[in-house]
Amino acid sequence: MNAKKYAAEVIGTFWLTFAGCGSAVLAAAFPQVGIGLLGVSFAFGLSVVTMAFAIGHVSGCHLNPAVTVGLAAGGRFPGGQVIPYIIAQVVGAILGAALLYVIASGKAGFDLAGGFASNGYADHSPGKYSLLACFVSEVAMTAMFLFIIMGATHGKVPAGFAPLAIGLALVMIHLVSIPVTNTSVNPARSTGPALFVGGWAVQQLWLFWVAPLIGGVIGGVVYRWLSDEPEGIVAGR
């Protein structure tokens, strides 16, 4: 039943946004016990692993418009369900960001000017990377993410290991690209926090839709060309 698939995508993307962005907002620099870049990277990866095991059998656990589009481009997902999946993912991300805002704003001195885990380029890139560098990073990281997802869910791969491979890929992506864009590779994850920050975060949001979607299509198409078509599960961020 499609309604259950969409509900699963809402819940899964809610968890990814809340847990991943929450680790950055609430715990990354917490005095003395902050989890830092490594901890935030693992939080995003673990959010995917946990949801892939929980809802992979329901919706495929995409949790990401770029994954949905990339899987469709790779011949693994029906085109007619792309838009409903994306809507569900964006709704879930907004709900995750809303819950994070309620919790984070309960601390004295909380200020959305800190970024609220939003993605950005140029002056709003954590490392002040240029627009071009951020665009290339997001395209390349998302393309490799889709390539790994397509491979890990191939019908000839041992069953049950896909969530781990996909989650670890997301950890590696964050370890590399947090300094560049604060790591998106997921338009829904970017949209949730940006709507609360407003201003620059919304103005720069276009890049974190365009680049991941391009990267997703590249990854899906390249893997489709490289490998024979499988009969496997569909799982991913």
Contacts of 68 (CB under 8 A, 6+ apart): 62, 77, 81, 82, 85, 86, 89
Q: What is the pLDDT of residue 141?
A: 98
CB 216 within 8 A of CB 70: yes
pLDDT in tens, 183-203: 999 999 999 999 999 999 999
Asked whether residue 233 is assigned to any structural domain, the reply reads no
CATH of the domain at 159: 1.20.1080.10
**Is the pLDDT confidence value at 234 over 80?**
no
Asked whether residue 168 is assigned to any structural domain, the reply reads yes
pLDDT in tens, 24-61: 999 887 556 578 899 999 999 999 999 999 999 999 99
Asked whether residue 199 is assigned to any structural domain, the reply reads yes
Q: What is the pLDDT of residue 155?
A: 77
pLDDT in tens, 149-180: 999 998 777 778 899 999 999 999 999 999 99
For the chain, how many structural domains are there in total?
A: 1
Mean of pLDDT values over 62-84: 96
Q: What is the pLDDT of residue 21?
A: 96
Q: What is the pLDDT of residue 142?
A: 98
The distance from CA 232 to its chain's CA centroid, rounded to whole angstroms, is 22
Mean of pLDDT values over 98-124: 94
CB 211 within 8 A of CB 135: yes
What span, in angstroms and rounded, lies between the C-alpha atoms of 168 and 160? Answer: 14
CB 16 within 8 A of CB 51: yes
